[in-house]
Chain A
Amino acid sequence: QVTLRESGPALVKPTQTLTLTCTFSGFSLSTSGLCVTWIRQPPGKALEWLARIDWDDDKYYSTSLKTRLTISKDTSNNQVVLTMTNMDPVDTATYYCARITTVAGTPLVDYWGQGIVVTVSS
């Protein structure tokens, strides 16, 4: 059974760095074709893709946010960490981690965590 769970602070102050951890089970990020991605959703707004890390440690970032984001993995502990620097109130959102399965070159976001609500406020 595949599960993912996000953890981190519920509240951060402007200019601080946000660190979120995705702890997963039911799969290994050393398996070819598997990836973990982060997606966020501001209240009442659309989904926004942030970053992705692949089984082979390739990393990809949103063009608009790439200067602020870092994604890394700890395969032995089944965790993926996302850091976002210089947080601003507009970064207030629910942050999801999710698994990507690559099938014949197609990336499918097939399992999602429940999401973590992060509020940026002084």
Chain B
Amino acid sequence: DIQMTQSPSSLSASVGDRVTITCQASQDIINYLNWYQQKPGKAPKLLIYDASYLEAGVPSRFSGSGSGTHFTLTISGLQSEDFATYYCQQYDNFIFTFGPGTKVD
């Protein structure tokens, strides 16, 4: 199975900061990579799909990039509502795998 890693596992940031989270796949997943945001006690929310496409309604300060095995989620100008945990998720061959998450506080 494809394994996903994320770094860092947590980070401290302030409103207005530029935040970058990385996700690495154990093998080439082309661009089969989504990003989710989860707040405490809530279900996750889709932010980015196919590595770089913004889901409808998601603020443009969120962006994704990468292909193959290395991917990045960037928040340009962190807002107070962005403090949350972020997960990457790959979907190769109908099997999903989530990364371990990155907590932004």
Q: A interface vs B, CB < 8 Å?
A: 37, 39, 46-49, 52, 58, 60, 62-64, 96, 98, 103, 106-110, 112-115
Mask, B46-70, CB within 8 Å of A = 1, is 1001100001000000000000000
- How many residues belonging to B are interface residues under a CB distance threshold of 8 Å? 23
Question: What 1/0 mask marks residues of chain B from 7 to 32 whose CB sits below 8 Å from any chain A CB?
Answer: 00000000000000000000000001
CB closest chain-A residue, reference B90:
A49
Taking a contact as CB atoms closer than 8 A, the residue among A46, A52, A60, A96 that contacts B43 in the complex is: A96
Is the CB–CB distance between A110 and B1 below 8 Å?
no
Residue in A closest to B94 when the chains form the complex, CB atoms: A60
C-alpha gap A39/B87 in the complex (Å) = 13
Chain B residues near A60 (CB-CB < 8 A): 94-95
Query: B83 an interface residue at 8 Å Cβ cutoff?
Result: no
Q: How far is the CA of A49 from the CA of B3 in the complex (A)?
A: 13
- B80-102: which have CB < 8 Å to A? 87, 89, 91, 94-101
Additional A-B contacts beyond A46-B100, A47-B89 (18; CB < 8 A): A37-B96, A39-B98, A46-B98, A47-B101, A48-B98, A49-B89, A49-B95, A49-B97, A63-B95, A64-B1, A106-B49, A106-B91, A108-B46, A109-B46, A110-B46, A112-B43, A113-B43, A115-B43
